[in-house]
Amino acid sequence: MAHLLHIDSSIQGDRSTSRRLSARAAAAWRAAHPGGTVTYRNLGADPLPHLDEAGGLARMVPPDQHTPAQAASWALTERLIGEVREADTILLGVPLYNFGAPSSIKSWVDHLIAPGLSIDPATGSGLLGGRELIVLASRGGGYGAGTPREGWDHAQPWLPHGLSMTGLAPRFITAELTLAEVTPAMAELIPLAAESLAAAEREIDRLWSRASVLA
């Protein structure tokens, strides 16, 4: 049975563009996979603990030598990697905060880097490949080629690198200029923002259209 892991990270709640896009993608996935199951995790409302001095070294210490804090951190890592392993498709909502991914996404990625669980310690190869990972990204401004802030989006180039050791390879669908309607200085960009959002929605709607036809 097909299984979806749906993760959001925005702190904007229902106002979030990335959450609206990920919800649209989840609905499209359900329509294409009748009877499929879904695991949902909201990192914006329930963030994961960052790796700290007490528990973070669990990835470098044999489990039988773990302190209680390290054991708890390792157990969470096992649970998070288990969620990925169970999924055929992963949807990850990622807004751009201060030119980077939310810190909750960084923590999620850090927990996924675990020799023996997501990385083969003998070969260094990733153990989580073969899954569809779709990132639904939103950016308040414009960061494309030729714009004043070209190259300032550090989330999109970082995430493939951050996950590379696990074998996961993200595909991005992005809506930008999302702040145009609420920022007077960006008012003239509202039509471009609408075009960007519509293009992202069309791309989402095509994701599993062939799968639904063949089902």
CA–CA separation, 57 vs 71, rounded Å?
10
The model's pLDDT over 35-74, given as tens digits with 9 standing for 90+, comes to 999 999 999 999 999 999 999 999 999 999 999 999 999 9
Do residues 203 and 194 make contact, with C-beta atoms less than 8 angstroms apart?
Answer: no
Diameter over CA atoms, the chain: 61
Count: domains in the chain: 1
Identify the residue whose tokens are 């909750």: 104
Amino acid, single-letter form, for residue 102: P
Tokens for 138? 């939103």
Position 210 confidence tier, pLDDT thresholds 50, 70, 90: low
- Report pTM: 0.94
Question: Which pairs with CB-CB distance under 8 Å and at least 24 residues apart come from 97-103?
Answer: 99/152, 99/153, 99/154, 99/155, 100/154, 100/155, 100/158, 101/9, 101/154, 101/155, 101/158, 101/159, 102/9, 102/10, 102/11, 102/43, 102/44, 103/47, 103/50
DSSP 125-181: -BSS-SSEEEEEEEESS--STTSTTTT---HHHHHHHHHGGGT--EEEEEEE-TTGG
Amino acid, single-letter form, for residue 13: G
The model's pLDDT over 86-109, given as tens digits with 9 standing for 90+, comes to 999 999 999 999 999 999 999 999
H/E stretch holding 212 reads: helix 209-214
Host domain of residue 67: 3-214
Domain at 35, CATH number: 3.40.50.360
